[in-house]
Chain A
Amino acid sequence: MREIGSLPAIFHLSIIAALFVAQFILPPFHHSMLTRIMVLAAYASGYNILLGYTGLMSLGHAMLFSTGLYSVGLTILYLGFEPLAAFTVALISSLVISLLLGAITLRTSGVFFLIVTMIFSQVFYLTTLYFNNITYGDQGFVISQYLHPINMGFFQIDFADRTVKYNLSLLVFSVAFLLSLYVSRSPLGLVLAAIKENPDRAEMLGYNTYRYKLIAFALSGTIAGMSGAVYALVFSYIGSSLAFIHNSINPLLWTLLGGAGTTTGPLVGTMLMVYVIDVTSSFTESYLVVVGIALILIILGFPKGIVGSIRKRWLTWLP
């Protein structure tokens, strides 16, 4: 029956607790790796709501990630916004852009959806290049000098501090992670699963499938934007490369590798891939080949991804 259930709830909270504790144990290199992984895993968890839960494969998420990224970057750089205000702008703008992009692209389906989302995202990418007098295009810009510490009375949140970076990443990951757990067990999640499996029948049960897909798209896109916003705050770098198609393919890959439709898959896939690329890029330039091989292996060996396969074989209670 679809309830969160105490076992999965404890399991998910334990993962968050383990990530929290890890910062006190990990050596600096892995500390910073995990900071990066958690932001990206938040992005992948949002992507999973669309791909894994609803069965829609988008190649446009780089645009949504970058909407959050640029909202934070530009409002801080040009308007002198405080981080929290910039973050709020990022959330709202990525929600609005997701709704608009979804409303248009969800008129199509299957491979057309893939292509149309990709086209919009590439147009966005080219726009960031075109207005390089504002965005600094490919070269990008850094906002660390404008990120003033937030004074909380008895302590300060200093964005240059690695502990702050780590916990900010953990926070955004936890939000995306728990939200995706909640959705997967909710009546809404059941409708999304139904649409993924048999949209025609869902429609005949009286569900407005277009509207539900739009909800999933907006949720997924807003999480992408939120991750982009935190990325800007944590890494302080804002550049066009993050709007490029690579950054749409990445969450797709991480989600497939970890297990589309599982709640923990995106984290597992992101963690594995970020480490694999880090290791291989140290002795080969062509890490894209590695990515390609990984994709082929996933499709052939683990069509359900790592967590998907584990769930099927051993842990059937896993959400």
Chain B
Amino acid sequence: MASVEDVPLLETQGLSKRFAGLEAVKSVDLRLEKETVRAIIGPNGAGKTTLVNLISGRLKPTSGKIYYRGVDITNLPAHKRASMGIVYTFQIVSLFPSLTVFENVVLAVQRRLGRGILLRLDRDSVYRQSEKALELVGLEDEAELEAGALPYGHQRLLDIAMALALQPVLLILDEPTQGLSAGEIEKITDLVKKLSKNTTILLIEHNISVVMELAHKITVMADGSILAEGPPSEVEKDVRVQSIYLGV
């Protein structure tokens, strides 16, 4: 018998997803160790987003199983997985654009602190923690603006602030640095680094220097399958990866 310590935080077994004729994810076995940063890289259309959609519950797999802390979660709805700590930020920024920046984070915080229909919520703690979440990404001065009115980079930061406000156990970031300035990329890199001390992070990222800086382990996907897996130094040397992904 494996001890509790040996159970990976997340494990997929033979996970597959077929879209009308196209097999986007093909029998993927993935194991995520606790409190590490795992990067998934791969060319466009490799199936990275589809894979994390299966993990977060936005999509139902065609076949295969997903275990979280040793428990089968394959059939749980997305909102249940989110409340169990599996938090996913979409590849395309997804906010509540006509609500204020503050209300956007309040939504995350009150979900974590509240029960039932949120009648007996401690508003002071909700507000305090929401302010903290905004400070973490440096958006506190924009709290009362409409979220949809923020510049793109700040919308990304808000999206991430909402995810962090949920205090995730497993945080899935789908290309968080896409379209950001160098300064903003650095901010996110720092955040992820700090966070990784007590959070497991699954990071889909095209920016190779970000991957090299953050990842403890890299999984390379192509054509729906895992092509290679290992620590950054090894994956970098892998000839197949170089030819498929790094374009060398």
Contact = CB atoms under 8 A, between A and B. Distances in A.
B117 A215 contact: yes
Contacts of A2: 103, 106
Interface string B76-90: 011110110001101
Interface in A1-23: 1-3
Contacts of A208: 77, 79-80
B113 to A, nearest CB: 10
Interface residues of B, number: 35
Given A186-B118, A194-B107, A205 B95 contact: no
B50 interface: no
B241 interface: no
Given A187-B114, A191-B107, A201 B95 contact: yes
A158 interface: no
Interface residues of A, number: 24
B88 to A, nearest CB: 6
Given A194-B107, A197-B98, A200-B58, A188 B119 contact: yes
B110 interface: yes
Contact of A198 (B82, B96, B106, B119): B96
Nearest to A215: B117
A206 interface: yes
B166 interface: yes
Interface string A187-207: 110110110011011111111
A206 B96 contact: no
Given A188-B118, A205-B82, A197 B99 contact: yes
A205 B97 CA distance: 15
Interface in B107-124: 107-108, 110-112, 114, 117-119, 121, 123
Chain A CB within 10 Å, residue with most, of B99, B108, B121: B99
Contacts of B36: none
Contacts of B123: 3
B111 A206 contact: yes
B121 A204 contact: no
B245 interface: no
A66 interface: no
Nearest to B110: A187
Contact of A206 (B95, B102, B166): B166
Contacts of B108: 205
Given A187-B121, A191-B118, A200-B58, A207 B111 contact: yes
A1 B114 CA distance: 18
Contact of A190 (B58, B103, B166): B103
B82 A206 contact: yes
Interface in A162-202: 186-188, 190-191, 193-194, 197-198, 200-202
Given A191-B118, A194-B99, A204 B56 contact: yes
Contact of A201 (B94, B117, B166): B94
B87 to A, nearest CB: 8
B162 interface: yes
B79 A207 contact: yes
The 8 tightest CB contacts between A and B, nearest first, are A206-B82, A187-B118, A206-B83, A201-B94, A197-B96, A206-B111, A208-B79, A203-B79
Interface of B: 56, 58, 77-80, 82-83, 87-88, 90, 94-99, 102-103, 106-108, 110-112, 114, 117-119, 121, 123, 126-127, 162, 166
Given A187-B119, A190-B99, A193-B99, 18 more contacts: A187-B114, A187-B121, A188-B119, A190-B110, A194-B96, A194-B99, A197-B97, A198-B95, A198-B96, A198-B97, A202-B107, A203-B77, A204-B88, A204-B90, A205-B107, A205-B111, A206-B112, A207-B79
Interface of A: 1-3, 186-188, 190-191, 193-194, 197-198, 200-209, 212, 215
